[in-house]
Amino acid sequence: MRHPFDGIIFPERDENPKANPSRRDVLRLAGSVGPALVVAGLAGRAAGQQATTLAVGEEGGKRPPSRRTTKAIGEEGGRVPPGRITTMAVGEEGGKVPPSRKTLFQKSHQAFEATLKDCDIEGAAKHLRKLTSFARMKQYKSKVADARKRLGEKLADVLVRADADLKEGKLVEAVKAYRALSRIGGFPEQNKARKKQLVAAKLDGYKQALREVLAQEKYDAADGKTPKQRLAILLQVASLYPDTPTGKKAAEEAKKLAAIIRIRTDTTEALGEKGGKNPSLRKTTKAIGEEGGKGGRLRATTMAVGEEG
């Protein structure tokens, strides 16, 4: 019987394995050389292309290691100057911590006491309204109630005095007190003062007294204003109520105040002229021999023959 492999002729093999590499060797070689060829091809193609931008951080841009792209405060090139505040947020470096409730109450209570002592019932009522917001707190409840009680007693005294002035024929004082009481709500004296004012309106001389009261109220509004603002209010009082004592007083005061403001303005303008001294003005130049320059005596500005140097 004949063997199945009899008659098969096998190819002759070289003893050197590199002369006849196997399929595995060929695949291994292709796997190692292929990526290198691809990278080399891409590099050659990129070398032949031209960059479309030279912006920093883009394909054609080169960023020197020491170069900064921004000078903004807090950024890579920014520096915070000493003493400079970068934020005003509450709780931050430049922010102000809001006052505590205790501080606010004490401030309002002190203002209430001061106005009540000066018999400024409208100012006291204004500060009492601020104190009322603390009435729900146990530590302030009794103090707020006491302040309200004291203001009520003061209003009652003002009403009694106004009634006495009305009987004596002092219409200006009575009408002024009635008008102030009628603007303070939350107390029984408000309605009483309104009724009394209606009674006073039927008396002779009420209209002239009312004009004087209006002039006084306008005049009092000028307190605490700047000179120019006060001058404007005084001129308004003088023009609206020229026949009242307060209107005449405002006209005289307006003339004096206008003269003072004019003198200050002229003096300020003179300081800015030649020969004037104004320490508040900033020097506009540092050039030698100019306003901000140094040294005419100590340093020569020229070396030309015949000149100072």
The pLDDT of residue 182 is 95
Average pLDDT over residues 143-147: 94
The pLDDT of residue 287 is 47
The pLDDT of residue 269 is 74
Residue 207, pLDDT > 90, answer yes
Q: Please give the model's pTM, rounded to 2 decimal places.
A: 0.56
DSSP state of 59: S
* Higher local confidence (pLDDT), 81 or 194: 194
The pLDDT of residue 239 is 94
User: If you average pLDDT over every residue of the chain, what do you get?
Assistant: 78
Contact 165, 142 (CB under 8 A): no
Write out pLDDT tens, residues 113-126: 999 999 999 999 99
Q: Which element (helix H / strand E) includes 122? A: helix 121-132
Write out pLDDT tens, residues 61-81: 665 555 666 766 666 666 656
Q: How confident is residue 8, by pLDDT bands cut at 50, 70 and 90?
A: low
How would DSSP label each residue in 149-193? HHHHHHHHHHHHHHHHHHHTT-HHHHHHHHHHHHT--SSTHHHHH
The pLDDT of residue 283 is 47
Contact 31, 23 (CB under 8 A): no
- Nearest one of 111, 114, 113, 132 to 187, comparing CA atoms: 132
- Nearest one of 270, 267, 268, 258 to 228, comparing CA atoms: 258
Neighbours of 297 (CB within 10 A): 7
Write out pLDDT tens, residues 18-44: 556 677 776 776 667 666 666 666 665
Write out pLDDT tens, residues 42-58: 665 555 556 677 666 66
Sequence-distant (6+) residues with CB within 8 A of 202 are none
Neighbours of 261 (CB within 10 A): 14
DSSP state of 294: -
The pLDDT of residue 240 is 94
* Higher local confidence (pLDDT), 245 or 95: 245
Contact 173, 210 (CB under 8 A): no
Q: How confident is residue 266, by pLDDT bands cut at 50, 70 and 90?
A: confident
Average pLDDT over residues 86-98: 64
The pLDDT of residue 264 is 85
Residue 191, pLDDT > 50, answer yes
The pLDDT of residue 98 is 73
Average pLDDT over residues 243-251: 94
Average pLDDT over residues 112-139: 92
Sequence-distant (6+) residues with CB within 8 A of 216 are 176, 246
Residue 206, pLDDT > 90, answer yes
Percent residues over pLDDT 70 in the chain: 58
Q: How confident is residue 296, by pLDDT bands cut at 50, 70 and 90?
A: very low
Average pLDDT over residues 150-172: 95
The pLDDT of residue 275 is 47
Residue 202, pLDDT > 60, answer yes
* Higher local confidence (pLDDT), 83 or 295: 83
The pLDDT of residue 284 is 47
